[in-house]
Amino acid sequence: MVNIQVTVNAEGGLHARPASLLVNTANKFSSSVKIVKDTKIADAKSILNIMTLGAKKGETLAIQIEGADEQAASAELQNLFANNFEV
């Protein structure tokens, strides 16, 4: 299992567009991807789950990735957050 910490730097937090990009990225991989904010845990492959987190700009999230391609998933997700969801 890979655990990483990311900061939401996108204006407006994880609103529809960044959440959609996050889900699309997570769905590229077979690994399980969970996003943790405080006590809430969301499946990163579900836009509804991501939206229910209510993650705002400046908040830190934990991402838990487990599976055969967890390293590749981790790198791509970190890159997504580091580049403010600019693809």
Residue 31, judged by CB atoms within 10 A of its CB (0-12, 13-18, 19+), counts as: buried
Active site annotation includes 15: yes
Contact 32, 22 (CB under 8 A): no
**What is the C-alpha to C-alpha distance for residues 72 and 46, in angstroms, rounded to an integer?**
19
Q: Is residue 47 helix, strand or coil?
A: helix
Q: Is residue 79 helix, strand or coil?
A: helix
Q: Please identify which of the residues 4, 6, 15, 76 carries the catalytic annotation.
A: 15
The residues annotated as belonging to the active site are 15
